[in-house]
């Protein structure tokens, strides 16, 4: 039985019915360099051609700027699969991306704690 709102892709007992690598057609290298903290946002351009349901879900999540890590968490997909999906959307100009701008060193403890706090509030 599918969980409410998850459609045919998830099952309460079995979990994900489609393997994550099939979502990206077996691809593991995104065509665009994306970090987990890169920001992605929908441009308003409608993608041409068929994109899978995960592409549509990712696009919906990106109405406002959101990090790649947050999209992966909401989609319940591995980061590498999410990066491939988001890169597909960038390639068809449905998403724009902004690389992270470090005002601190990326291993700054206060920065990492702020990211963790933000993720906890979102989930």
Architecture of the domain delimited by 22-101: Orthogonal Bundle (1.10)
Please choose, from the candidates 123, 122, 100, the residue with its C-alpha nearest in 3D space to the C-alpha of residue 111: 100
Distance linking the first and last C-alpha atoms of the chain: 24
Q: What is the pLDDT of residue 23?
A: 61
Could you read off the pLDDT tens digit of each residue along the chain, which spans 123 residues? 334 444 445 545 544 455 555 565 666 677 888 888 899 999 999 888 778 888 999 999 999 999 999 999 999 888 888 999 999 999 999 999 987 766 556 677 887 888 888 888 887
Q: What is the pLDDT of residue 5?
A: 44
User: Which stretch of DSSP H or E encloses residue 61?
Assistant: helix 53-61
Global pTM value: 0.65
Q: What is the pLDDT of residue 53?
A: 85
The tokens of 115 are what?
Answer: 């990211």
């Amino acid at each position: 039985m599918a969980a409410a709102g998850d459609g045919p892709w998830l099952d309460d007992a079995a979990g994900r019915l489609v393997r994550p690598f099939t979502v990206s057609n077996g691809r593991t290298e995104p065509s665009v360099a994306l970090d987990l903290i890169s920001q992605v946002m929908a441009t308003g351009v409608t993608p041409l051609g068929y994109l899978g349901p995960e592409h549509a879900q990712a696009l919906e999540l990106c109405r406002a700027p959101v990090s790649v890590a947050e999209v992966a968490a909401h989609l319940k997909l591995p980061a590498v699969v999410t990066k491939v999906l988001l890169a597909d959307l960038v390639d068809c100009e449905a998403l724009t991306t902004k690389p992270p701008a470090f005002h601190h060193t990326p291993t700054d403890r206060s920065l990492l704690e702020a990211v963790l706090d933000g993720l906890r509030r979102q989930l």
